[in-house]
A and B are shown apart, each in its own frame.
Chain A
Amino acid sequence: MNKQPLAITVNGHERQIFVAPYYSLLDTLRDELRLTGTKKGCDEGDCGACTVILDGKPVTSCLVLAMSAQGSDVTTVEGLATPDALHPVQQAFIERGGLQCGYCTPGLIMAAVGLLQDNPRPSAEEVKFAIGGNLCRCTGYTKVVEAILLAADRMASQC
């Protein structure tokens, strides 16, 4: 079971790495690429903490075999901010108090980013549906939904 070559673009950087054939994308991001912003919660696709954007779509990276992401484009929470500013979703989470302990936050933010790509002006119901796969044990979700709606407002008014 030797490591195999994997070419993958992460947060805009083309990476050539070697990974074990049974490694998940999540473990590859955290262990091989040292991108530990993406969290491991359940490792079985229940909690959403490991959500990243894979080829434009939010996915639970614990359920992706790294080798099956050959040639893919991945965005993690580390890839959202610019040197000058946080991403509008990140900024809104801070302003609205959409986080407490923070463990679920990268996954929730990536799920929100994925939603707003497809649906820039979601209703509160659509936001709740889109983050149904993300567990948060602190916030009760109310402030998370408010933050995502605020980010949607700001992003839409920028366009």
Chain B
Amino acid sequence: MLRFDFLEARNLRHAIALLQRHGNDSRVVAGSTDFLVRWRQGFWRPAAVVNLKGIASLGRISFSPRNGLRLGALATVQSVESNAHIRRRYQALATGATSFAGVQVRNLATIGGNVCNASPAGDTLPALLAFDAQCTIAGPQGTRTLPLTEFFLGPGRTALEQGEVLTQLTLPAPMPRTGSLYIKHSPRGAMDIATVGVASVVTLEEDGRTCRDARIALGAVGPTPFRATEAENLLRGRTLTPGLLGQAAQAAEAAAKPIDDVRGSAGYRRAMVEALTTRTLQHALQMASGRAVTFEEQRRLAVQTAF
């Protein structure tokens, strides 16, 4: 039978020291929702786990117009889903969080864990990428920051070095006239992994028609979640017509490099990228134009319930 030792980190410095001491034989846990599944599968076999969950200072969420959104890595997905600032200003992140697993897992799983697990299908990741998240990483040599776009190296592989811990994600404050949405497509409405996930963020100029900025990020259609930059470039500075949104969706589809698996064929995934990019852009545009969409409506758009 597989076994491991449980090491409780008293604070961040202690966590880093424990990780240095135990090296590759140790793994960080926080919510442990990914860890316990992978451990029981025999995929991860550490001799020791270092539990971060008790470090209360890493669980905070704060927002200010100047500093943007600061997400402590240990903030639960549920706390992201229910945060009033996030629901109001970062709708794609709130809808990404609400589409994540089920409430029982959202109450355990942390935003930092979702990032560090580096699944191509992680439900909070497209929104974090689309909102230009920066990672704060603490390690034996001190603290460094890294754009989230450079954090993901492959499925389950990140830029974290030995002894390093992701401590915070920082998202700049959205400009006025910004709207956003994440849509998850999966066989089951809850507790499932996305077949395709798309997050779009649209910011309009003062005229209410011209696109000032557009960000599109795709999940589950490549080795990592990634930004569809060609699609974004088609939209910036242009008047957002239905035809142009369709062109951007086709560019997003062209950027997707999906695989065939049990949740869908590569061809099906590509087709879904186009459909969901169009849909997320349409709704993001409407929200950017000032149309109020309640969170319940956003959730209905973001995740289909299975029954």
Residue ranges of A at the interface with B (Cβ–Cβ < 8 Å): 1, 4, 20-22, 24, 43-48, 51, 54, 57-60, 62-65, 67-68, 70, 111, 114-115, 125, 128-130, 132-134, 140-141
25 interchain pairs, CB-CB under 8 A: A1-B3, A1-B5, A4-B6, A21-B5, A22-B3, A45-B101, A48-B191, A51-B104, A57-B78, A58-B103, A59-B108, A60-B105, A63-B36, A63-B105, A65-B29, A65-B32, A65-B36, A68-B6, A68-B53, A125-B305, A129-B299, A132-B103, A133-B101, A133-B105, A140-B307
Residue of A nearest to B78 (CB): A57
Contact between B36 and A130 (Cβ–Cβ < 8 Å)? no
Contacts of B19-38 to chain A: CB distance below 8 A: 29, 31-33, 36-37
Counting chain A CB atoms within 10 Å of each CB, which of B33, B101, B104, B296 scores highest? B104
Query: B154 on the interface (CB 8 Å rule)?
Result: no
Residue of A nearest to B29 (CB): A65
Given contacts A57-B78, A60-B105, contact A68 B29 (CB under 8 A): yes
**Whole-angstrom distance between the alpha carbons of A59 and B76 in the complex?**
12
Contact between B104 and A48 (Cβ–Cβ < 8 Å)? yes
Instruction: Name the one of A48, A57, A67 contacting B6, with C-beta atoms under 8 angstroms.
Output: A67
Given contacts A65-B36, A68-B32, contact A22 B190 (CB under 8 A): no
- Which residues of chain A have C-beta atoms less than 8 A from B53's C-beta? 68
Given contacts A4-B6, A21-B5, A57-B78, contact A111 B103 (CB under 8 A): yes
Chain B residues with a Cβ closer than 8 Å to the other chain, count: 34
Instruction: Name the one of A59, A67, A115, A132 contacting B51, with C-beta atoms under 8 angstroms.
Output: A67
Instruction: Name the one of A21, A63, A129 contacting B4, with C-beta atoms under 8 angstroms.
Output: A21
Instruction: Give the Cβ gap from B193 to chain A, nearest Cβ, in Å.
Output: 10
- Which residues of chain A have C-beta atoms less than 8 A from B36's C-beta? 24, 44-45, 62-63, 65
Query: B262 on the interface (CB 8 Å rule)?
Result: no
**Whole-angstrom distance between the alpha carbons of A70 and B107 in the complex?**
17
Residue of B nearest to A135 (CB): B191
Given contacts A44-B37, A65-B36, A128-B307, contact A22 B108 (CB under 8 A): no
Query: B172 on the interface (CB 8 Å rule)?
Result: no
**Whole-angstrom distance between the alpha carbons of A140 and B37 in the complex?**
27
**Whole-angstrom distance between the alpha carbons of A115 and B307 in the complex?**
18
Query: B240 on the interface (CB 8 Å rule)?
Result: no
Given contacts A20-B3, A132-B189, contact A65 B49 (CB under 8 A): yes
**Whole-angstrom distance between the alpha carbons of A97 and B104 in the complex?**
24
Contact between A133 and B5 (Cβ–Cβ < 8 Å)? no
Could you mark each residue 291-307 of chain B with 1 if its beta carbon is under 8 Å from any beta carbon of chain A, else 0?
A: 00000100100000111
Residue of A nearest to B5 (CB): A21
Query: B144 on the interface (CB 8 Å rule)?
Result: no
Contact between B299 and A21 (Cβ–Cβ < 8 Å)? no
Contact between B108 and A46 (Cβ–Cβ < 8 Å)? no
Given contacts A65-B32, A68-B32, contact A22 B4 (CB under 8 A): yes
Residue of B nearest to A19 (CB): B6
Instruction: Give the Cβ gap from A57 to chain B, nearest Cβ, in Å.
Output: 4
Query: B242 on the interface (CB 8 Å rule)?
Result: no
Contact between A60 and B104 (Cβ–Cβ < 8 Å)? yes
Contact between B103 and A133 (Cβ–Cβ < 8 Å)? yes
Query: B205 on the interface (CB 8 Å rule)?
Result: no
Residue of A nearest to B82 (CB): A118
- Which residues of chain B have C-beta atoms less than 8 A from A48's C-beta? 102, 104, 191
